Chain A
Amino acid sequence: MAMAAEEIEAMILAAFPDAAVEIRDLAGDGDHYAARVVSPSFAGMNRVRQHQAVYAALKGKMGTDLHALQLETLVPSGDHQ
């Protein structure tokens, strides 16, 4: 099973309309991606909560349809939790 980068980006943007999303296909096999998600809505959340929010946006596809998504989440100002 695999997912297109556009599909991943669309699902993340549906949950975080204000986010800047970058997706990189790491292996060219539609199954290993890196995503960088920058959104003001991450403010006040620790890294685990930020990643959980992105996984929730992917509605269960993470770990099933999507084997690997290296995830980096950031608040736009560059604030670190």
Chain B
Amino acid sequence: MSDVDINQRIAALVGQNDVVLFMKGSALFPQCGFSSRAVSILDHLGVTYETVDVLQDQDIRNGIKAYSDWPTVPQLYVKGEFVGGSDIMMEMFESGELKQLVAADA
């Protein structure tokens, strides 16, 4: 699959869902402590979100790093915008910013 195709697939995932978490594993069975932390934050906010398991898709796993210019997973997108990884999610959760972000015109 070409880079262009992968970017289009990622853009579609990000565009079709208000809150998307690219992660290792699933929301029920996260395969990494950072992904687990990201899921816990979203669950705590009570927001509806979509997850993409990068372990199931090598193209997405590599592609998302280039797409976001971000070297690690998890990665959160809200309303088409890249928000950050689990450290930024935690900071924004603690400050209340993340709640505002996902709640705005939801």
8 Å CB contacts to A: which residues of B35-79? Answer: 65, 69-72
Contact between A63 and B69, CB atoms less than 8 A apart: no
Q: Which residues of B contact A71 (CB under 8 A)?
A: 87
Q: Which residues of B contact A72 (CB under 8 A)?
A: 87, 91
B88 contacts partner chain A, Cβ-Cβ < 8 Å: yes
- The number of A-B residue pairs with CB atoms under 8 Å apart is 31
Interface centre among B71, B88, B92 (most CB of A within 10 A): B71
Q: Which residues of A contact B92 (CB under 8 A)?
A: 47
Out of B34, B84, B91, which one reaches A68, CB within 8 Å?
Answer: B34
- Contacts A48-B82, A68-B34 known; A63 to B72 CB distance under 8 Å? yes
